[in-house]
Structure 1
Amino acid sequence: MSDAIHDPVDQPPESRFWLTTADGVGIDAVLRRGARARTEAVILANGFTGTYRSPHTRAIAEALLPVGDVMTFDFRGHHGSGGRSTVGNEEIHDLEAVVVRLRELGYTSIAAVGFSMGAAVALRHAAIYGGITAVVSVSGPSRWYYRGTRRMRLLHIGIGRTFGRFVLRTFRKVRVTDRGWDSRPAEPREVAGELSPTPLLVVHGEADTYFPVSHATAIHDAAREPRELWIVPGMGHAERAVTPELGVRLRDWLSERIVRED
């Protein structure tokens, strides 16, 4: 299902992989390894238009490296990956391709940390596929088609109109499908209750200009234990809003749930 582009025997700090999803889409991914062999891994799932090349994503990966090796990737239609973005629907196959590859590499404890669109994907993936040790939803939407903020209204114009998709393709290197969803996938708030007993952490900023805090509380309220909700004062949206201090908190939370004692 996946082939390494660069994976020599001596296991360098970063290895790049070309993965193939169950529906045949190529996914560009990078694995960042620690100094010693481990069976724990963390997957970072970016928000819409995000990429593993972003300095914000790289900083988060560095912060979480003490927990386990970190796999970052570009969703379909984003940057070096193939296909077209479906803005959170078929992207669950992308995340599953990453999980499969990590299991092939010997990782047995895998956490998924998603941001915005990636948070919705992480929740749906864990509910549908299972096999995830812990899930973190950062700045995630609780429901689809939300247009209650100016930024989300602009985003819907970008993905819903020909000129908007041209702008995304030209300036953000994101190719969005011009087809609507054949059927509406379950919303994050509708699947949150299916994650238990997998631990769920919901993180949201009070200053998020895309989704208000009510989205986070809707996901948390729909989930079952073990669950946790962090509303962060002054925090904005997704990867760009993750401060070094929040990175440490995420590291500690994940460490308690996925790191196994030798």
Structure 2
Amino acid sequence: MKKKIVWTFSGVIVAIMIALIAAGNYFYNVAINRSHDAVDLHGGGESVTAAGLSNGEEQQRKLEEIMAWTEKQNFEIVEIQSDDGLRLKARFLKNQQSSGKMVILAHGYKGSSEQMPGITKFYYDQGFDILKPDARGHGLSEGDYIGYGWHDRKDYVRWSQFLVEQKEAETIFLHGFSMGAATVLMASGEKLPEQVKGIIADSGYTTVHEELSHQLKYLYNLPAFPVMQVTSAVTKFRAGYSFSEASALEGIEKNHLPLFIIHGDQDQLVPTVMGKRIFDKANSLKELWIVPGAGHTEAYTIAEEEYQDRLKAFWSLALGK
């Protein structure tokens, strides 16, 4: 009788382990493995405010002007090699009035360097050269997994060095959105070139573990434990990093550069509280702007003029002007 109980118990344990490993591989393939398929995320839709603006005639006219301007630009495809041997590519736009001011724009999850046309034009109009990398596992860059900013942070150190060594950058700002925001925050804790003067993070998450746990709860109605731990272990085995180590909070603790945190107060994809926690954790010169009515990465859409003015003020602050 005891032997039967032991065997039954052992069988249940083995079945649970197999199920957890299967679940871990499933969620790895959904969230981490490279794919060109779009992913529906909780909180990923437009807010009421942004939807109302996007349907307006003035907004449509602006968008048409931006897209017409974008089509006329001659973006150069440039390339670096990552620490682990990946060929990473980016779009580089040299300003006709180039003065050594440059920005690296970091796109979000499942995005690419072809995005962010509005902010690209704004930086160009302010005299900046613009570099827009495809993150590893995205766009033209190599990589069979998504790094959520963790391995990418070292890629952005290399991109910064590329601008200094190959494009004669004198001043560099890193400006990221969503996953790109987490990327530049993580990169801020690394040894960046002295030409990097400031970090702008729009709608960034605190840690990969917390963001994926948030999505797991709302998309699958599942608790974080033990699914996140198992998926993290699978990710460590298959991609070389764990969810717990992939932390923007850890990066900003080491950061000494001026920091501008932007977050919408209606952000459900990356909860607004994450932006506040990032700001609270930072030890450098810092600014927090919580944008009323803005959902995820919508601040530029619904408060374009104020966004631009605040960026200009931050640049001046970071450069001591």
Q: TM-score, normalised by structure 1?
A: 0.77
Q: 5+ unaligned residues in a row in structure 1: which ranges?
A: 1-11, 161-175
Partner Cα distance (2:85, 2:92) in 1: 21
Matched, 1:192 2:256: no
What is aligned with 1:63? 122
The sequence identity of aligned pairs, in percent, is 25
In the alignment, is the contact (CA less than 8 A) between 1:134 and 1:257 conserved in 2?
no
Distance 1:154 1:17, change over 3 A: farther
In the alignment, is the contact (CA less than 8 A) between 1:64 and 1:250 conserved in 2?
no
Deviation of the 1:124 alpha carbon: 1.4
Q: Equivalent residues in 2 for 1:12-161 (5 A)?
A: 13-54=74-115, 57-65=116-124, 66-84=126-144, 85-104=146-165, 105-131=167-193, 132-146=196-210, 147=212, 149-150=214-215, 153-154=218-219
Partner Cα distance (2:80, 2:270) in 1: 31
Give the letter for the 1:88 counterpart.
Answer: G
Partner Cα distance (1:149, 1:222) in 2: 20
Cα shift readout 1:231-258 (whole Å, capped 9, x = no counterpart): 00111112x5522335413541343146
Partner residue of 1:210 out of 269, 273, 276: 269
Matched, 1:242 2:304: no
Deviation of the 1:87 alpha carbon: 2.3
Q: 5+ unaligned residues in a row in structure 2: which ranges?
A: 1-72, 228-234
Distance 1:223 1:258, change over 3 A: closer
Aligned pair count reads: 230
Looking at CA atoms only, which structure, 1 or 2, has the larger radius of gyration?
2
In the alignment, is the contact (CA less than 8 A) between 1:111 and 1:258 conserved in 2?
no
Partner Cα distance (2:108, 2:95) in 1: 25
Partner Cα distance (2:314, 2:253) in 1: 20
Distance 1:251 1:151, change over 3 A: farther
Partner Cα distance (2:141, 2:239) in 1: 20
Give the letter for the 1:108 counterpart.
Answer: E
Distance 1:83 1:150, change over 3 A: closer
Partner Cα distance (1:258, 1:199) in 2: 6
In the alignment, is the contact (CA less than 8 A) between 1:149 and 1:209 conserved in 2?
no
Give the letter for the 1:19 counterpart.
Answer: I
Distance 1:250 1:80, change over 3 A: farther
Partner Cα distance (1:86, 1:187) in 2: 12
Q: TM-score, normalised by structure 2?
A: 0.64
In the alignment, is the contact (CA less than 8 A) between 1:133 and 1:257 conserved in 2?
no
From the two aligned structures, give the one with the greater strand fraction.
Answer: 1
In the alignment, is the contact (CA less than 8 A) between 1:86 and 1:177 conserved in 2?
no
Partner Cα distance (2:299, 2:261) in 1: 15
Partner Cα distance (1:110, 1:58) in 2: 19
Distance 1:28 1:148, change over 3 A: same
In the alignment, is the contact (CA less than 8 A) between 2:157 and 2:190 conserved in 1?
no
In the alignment, is the contact (CA less than 8 A) between 2:148 and 2:183 conserved in 1?
no
Give the letter for the 2:199 counterpart.
Answer: V
In the alignment, is the contact (CA less than 8 A) between 2:181 and 2:201 conserved in 1?
yes
Give the letter for the 2:204 counterpart.
Answer: G
Cα shift readout 1:29-49 (whole Å, capped 9, x = no counterpart): 111222223111110011111
Cα shift readout 1:149-174 (whole Å, capped 9, x = no counterpart): 5587549x9xx9xxxxxxxxxxxxxx
